[in-house]
Amino acid sequence: MRFFSDGPSIPDLLLERCDAGRVVFLCGAGVSFNSGMPTFLGLTEHVIDFFDPPESSEIMKAFAPWRTDPTAANVPLDQIFNLLHQEYGRDEVNALVTERLLLPSTAATIGREHSLLKRISSNQSGVPQIVTTNFDHLFELSDEAGSIPVHIPPAFPDLTFGSPIDSITYLHGRLVAPDATQHPYVLSSADFGRAYLSEAWATKFISGLLERYTVVLVGYQAEDPPVKYLLQGLNHDGQFDRTRLYAFDRGEPEEIEAKWRDRGVTAIAYQDHGHLWQTMEAWADRADDPRAWRNRVVASAERDPKEISPHERGQVAHVLRSVPGAKAFADAEPSPHPEWVCVLDAFVRNAKKCSGYGEDAEEFDPVQAYGLDDDLVPISDEDFRRGTRNDNLFEWRSGDDNPPDFHRLGGRQVEGHEAMPIRLWHLVRWIGKSLQAPVVAWWAARQLGLHPRLIDHIAWHLDQSKEVDGNC
């Protein structure tokens, strides 16, 4: 589902889990960039500029290619930090990192992205569930009373024993005062090795997190050292379900999906950072009050679906994939436009173009009029025979109750009067309220058969109409 036509498509399951407070955001340097914080490359450059190692040194030979082409397959920055630690001392190098992160920011807005992610990730008690590999305190900006718990390594919540994750958890360390005797950050390849492989306290924490929550990576690229070590550590024990791990990344969907799929992560592509944070702002509004957001979407369905955009039709479809959404749709007054029957039936909305007779006959394209933004089009006959098809909201779908064998509102004759899925029953109620519309009669007439419960409900409505007419 998209909040905007040019925004990323957020999976329905992820939105539903977020509504239930079961999503944790794992945040990288990209989240803090707009607030004036440096990237990992910027931190490395700051340290190197201070120490100014000779051009012939191993450090400069490793770092020089980053200055000419940061996108090339250069020596990883965590390995360069390892060289810096060996040459100049770990605490001395890390103290410079502290100094850089404490410089006053000149950004126009500070902490906006952090505030949005806290709102989205908040559990049902309103407490954010954030894990970050950043050292800065930007997630704590609005917490003046210090009411949100903070965890630093290796003292993380013990998820095995049911400890909550309602906190800001600094996976790689939290920024310390400039005069601190130690600056314990995970920066070098040796640090990452301890955190994710040898001592593996970071891996154990993330593994436990994935067993109980859905984790969403924001502010990372697939090549970033935290991602590399995290996925290596998880693959090392193989004890987690990777379908519970999502990542936002900028680029073309096919490219991004392929890159993250190789790492066992479900990718969510976006075109530019502005689109991402515009979507996050709309998502935060939804997270503040999911019921109110759902009701606004249902209210938008009063309009003829041909008059709104594919992503807006997609929002209505998203709402109708859940029982509460279908109930709100059926209960709505005034009732949603009857032509939504053409959107909910995938066979109607994905039908081929048609036109009347004569040279001036108008052509009608159901895909343009009724299609959803995430529909696969076109689907060839061969693809269809192989099982490739778009979501039909009038059929049983994963998450519905009762077995799927005979639960579809139209498409073939069925027998029996067993209880139908509650979601479909609400759609039956809506069809009953829309019987006077010609488009509903047209849809029913072209079906090979109707579900017995739908037939019974139609008959009941027709009887009710006769009684009303007879009393007039």
DSSP, res 410: B
Q: What one-character DSSP code corresponds to residue 187? A: -
pLDDT at 426: 97
- Return the ∠ at Cα 328 (arms to 414 and 216), rounded to 5°: 95
Q: Give residue 152's pLDDT.
A: 94
CA distances from 8 to 53, 212, 217, 464 (A): 43, 25, 14, 46
Show the tokens assigned to 137.
């305190």
Q: What is the per-residue pLDDT for 472?
A: 44
| Run of H or E including 217 | strand 214-218
Q: Is the domain defined by 12-36+106-282 classed in CATH 3.40.50.1220?
A: yes
Q: How far apart are the first and last CA of the chain?
A: 47
- From CA 312, how far away is CA 292, in angstroms rounded? 16
Residue 240: per-residue pLDDT: 53
Going residue by residue through the chain, which has 472 residues, state the pLDDT in tens, using 9 for 90 and above.
Answer: 999 999 999 999 999 999 999 999 999 999 999 999 999 999 999 999 999 999 999 999 999 999 999 888 889 999 999 999 999 999 999 999 999 999 999 898 999 999 999 999 998 888 899 999 999 999 999 876 678 899 999 889 888 777 788 889 999 999 999 899 999 999 999 999 999 989 999 988 998 898 899 999 999 998 888 888 888 777 654 555 667 899 999 999 999 999 898 788 999 999 999 999 999 999 999 999 999 999 999 999 999 999 999 999 999 999 999 999 999 999 999 999 999 999 999 999 988 888 766 666 688 899 999 999 999 877 777 776 777 789 999 998 888 887 766 688 887 655 666 678 999 999 999 999 999 999 999 999 999 888 888 999 999 988 887 754 544 4
DSSP strand pairing (363-364 vs 354-355):
antiparallel
Is the Cβ–Cβ distance between 326 and 360 less than 8 Å? Answer: no
Residue 382 has a pLDDT of 74
The domain spans of the chain are 12-36+106-282, 40-101, 289-471
Torsion over CA: 107, 111, 117, 119 (sign): negative
Give dist(CA 431, CA 123) in Å, integer: 36
Element (H, E) at 276: helix 273-288
Q: Find residue 170's DSSP bridge partners.
A: 132
What pLDDT is stored for residue 416 in this prediction? 61
Q: How does DSSP classify residue 395?
A: B
The reply to whether omega before 76 is within 30° of 0 (cis) is: no
DSSP string covering 132-147:
ES--S-GGGTT-TT--
3-state SS, residue 245: strand
Return phi, psi of residue 418, to 5°.
-65, 160
The pTM of this model reads 0.90
Beta bridge partners of 217: 26, 247
pLDDT of residue 379: 74
